Each structure stands twice: as C-alpha cells, then as structure tokens.
C-alpha cells in the first residue's frame, strides 16, 4: 500500500494534475472555455470569483466532478456548494475533495459577495485546507483566504479579478508544502444576447502566465455551445450546457497533448 501511495503521489506531481490546494477552476462551463473562470455571472462564481456572487440572485445547490485526464480514478476531484442571496449580499459554502481513502486533500470555503453599486462588487472567501496521508503518516491543516472584484464596465463589457492565497500560507509542520499564490484577470464582451467572447490571464507565482480565450453561443433557448483554448501548457476545450429552468447540466472537456482528454460534468439546481 505504501508503494502504491508513493507512486500515486509521484504520478500526481509528474503529470501536473492540480490538487484541492491549488487555484483550480471549478465547473464544466469553465472547463469548456479554456478554463476561464473569473468572468460571467452564474453559480460557478461561488468557487471562482466570489465578488460576482453579488449579482447572482438565485438560491442554488451544485455538484461538480472532474475525472483528471483519465490518468487515475484516484486523482478525480469532487466539489459541492450552495449559494444563498440575502439583503446584504450573497453568501455560500463550497467543499472540494481530491484523492482517495489513503491520500486526499480537502478544501472548505465560506464565500461572500457584496455589490457596491451597479458597476462594482467585491468578494472574499475564507479557506480551510486539509491533507491526509494514510498508513500512520497523519494529516495537516492550514487556513487562508481569497479576494476578488467584479465590474460591469458597460452593458457589453465585464471585468473580473481574483487573488488566491495572497499571503502565501503553507500547509504542514515539519515538511511544509506551499499553497500556491495565484492571480487572475479576465474580460468578457457580449457581442449580442446569444454570443459572448472572453479572455483571461492567470499567473501562479514561479510559473509561466497562462493565457486563455473562450467563446459561448446560445444555439437555442436551452442549449449552449462553448469552445476555448489555453497556453502553458497548450489546452483545447469544448463543451455544452443544457438549461431547464431550475436544473442546469454542463459538460465539458479539455484536450492536453500529453495527458489526453479530461471530462468534467456539473449539475446545478435552483431552489427558487
């Protein structure tokens, strides 16, 4: 079992599959759009840009499942969250689980988004991280936070920004592991009521900047098509969404030249 655990962790590092402690984007919609995540107002803001929650006025519960490039079923990521709009902003809780019984990483976030007017909103999220390694290796915990803003620059143009772990918290005691420091900045342009274009730059400290481009088009009222591309490393993505009033299903996948396809599915239910 220890040998299996060792090689699993080695595989995780060598394939650059991100863990629960990394600033991963959540949602099959994002996975379809070149992993663009900080622009666009929807339930996924709970995970990706808490400031935009201020403009999201639905009580929603959502699930997300990421297979992880088909590398190993033990490297999948499962996410749950719910958002509740109130008279003083929108609050939410999200939980992420990566790994399996003998090696897993968990993240729990408490999110809040507040509009400061028609054109600007701010957001914050408190994060709790936990790593567990079986066979008497034990566990470690850490606490950090995220900051974000969202601006409706005009009727057609929106801007989003997000900072993950800005103070550089680490997890562990004797052998400390860095929790990444990451910054994202994105723009979204509504060409018309059915089509929008989006772009985003993501910078994780000590890594190359990732540039992303995506397009979303509502083919018919309940069917949405999406495509995207990202750099460093090269990633090509596509997917679709089905919207049945209260129930929303998103399916997306990305193709990495080395790792192949990574399927992702998200399900959301609007309670009211």
Percent of all residues in the chain with a pLDDT value above 70, rounded to a whole number: 88
| pLDDT average, residue stretch 220-249 | 93
Q: Residue 45 pLDDT > 50, yes or no?
A: yes
Distance CA(264)–CA(249), nearest Å, equals 11
- pLDDT tens string 89-133: 999 999 999 988 888 999 999 999 999 988 999 999 999 999 998
Q: Residue 139 pLDDT > 90, yes or no?
A: no
The answer to whether residue 188 is domain-embedded is yes
The answer to whether residue 260 is domain-embedded is no
Q: Per the structure, how many domains does the chain have?
A: 1
Query: What's the CA angle centered on 163, arms 160 and 164, to 5 degrees?
Result: 135
The confidence score (pLDDT) of residue 232 equals 85
Domain residues for 135?
Answer: 2-29+39-199
Contact 187, 199 (CB under 8 A): yes
Between 146 and 256, the higher pLDDT residue:
146
Per-residue pLDDT band for 83 (boundaries 50, 70, 90) equals very high
The answer to whether residue 244 is domain-embedded is no
The answer to whether residue 142 is domain-embedded is yes
Q: What is the DSSP string of 24-58?
A: ---SHHHHHTTT--SSS-STTHHHH-GGGGGG---
**Coil vs helix vs strand at 4:** helix
Q: Residue 6 pLDDT > 90, yes or no?
A: no
The confidence score (pLDDT) of residue 68 equals 66
Write the CB contacts of 137 (distance below 8 Å, at least 6 apart in sequence): none
The answer to whether residue 236 is domain-embedded is no
The answer to whether residue 124 is domain-embedded is yes
Between 214 and 255, the higher pLDDT residue:
214
Write the CB contacts of 104 (distance below 8 Å, at least 6 apart in sequence): 20, 97, 98, 131, 132
Peptide bond into 163 cis (omega under 30): no
- pLDDT tens string 171-209: 877 778 889 999 999 999 999 999 999 999 999 998 999
The answer to whether residue 225 is domain-embedded is no
pTM of the model: 0.87
The answer to whether residue 268 is domain-embedded is no
61: number of Cβ within 10 Å: 14
């Amino acid at each position: 079992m220890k040998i299996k655990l060792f090689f699993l962790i080695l595989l995780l590092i060598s394939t650059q599959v991100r863990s629960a402690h990394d600033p991963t984007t959540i949602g099959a919609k994002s996975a379809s759009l070149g992993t663009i995540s900080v622009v666009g107002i929807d339930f996924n803001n709970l995970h990706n840009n808490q400031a935009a929650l201020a403009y999201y006025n639905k009580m929603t519960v959502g699930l997300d499942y990421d297979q992880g490039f088909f590398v190993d079923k033990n490297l999948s990521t499962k996410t749950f969250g719910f958002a509740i709009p109130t008279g003083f902003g929108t609050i939410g809780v999200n939980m992420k689980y990566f790994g399996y019984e003998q090696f897993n990483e968990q993240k729990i976030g408490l999110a809040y988004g507040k509009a400061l007017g028609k054109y600007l909103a701010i957001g914050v999220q408190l994060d709790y991280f936990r790593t567990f390694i079986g066979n008497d290796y034990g566990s470690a915990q850490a606490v950090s936070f995220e900051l974000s803003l969202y601006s409706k620059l005009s009727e057609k143009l929106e801007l989003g920004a997000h900072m993950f772990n800005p103070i550089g918290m680490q997890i562990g005691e004797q052998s400390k592991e860095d929790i990444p420091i990451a910054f994202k900045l994105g723009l979204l342009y509504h060409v018309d009521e059915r089509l929008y274009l989006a772009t985003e730059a993501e910078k994780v400290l000590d890594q190359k900047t990732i540039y992303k481009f995506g397009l979303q088009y509502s083919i018919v009222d309940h069917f949405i098509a999406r495509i995207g591309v990202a750099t460093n490393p090269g990633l090509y993505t596509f997917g679709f969404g089905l919207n049945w009033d209260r129930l929303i299903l998103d399916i997306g996948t990305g193709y990495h030249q080395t790792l192949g396809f990574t399927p992702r599915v998200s399900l959301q239910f609007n309670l009211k």
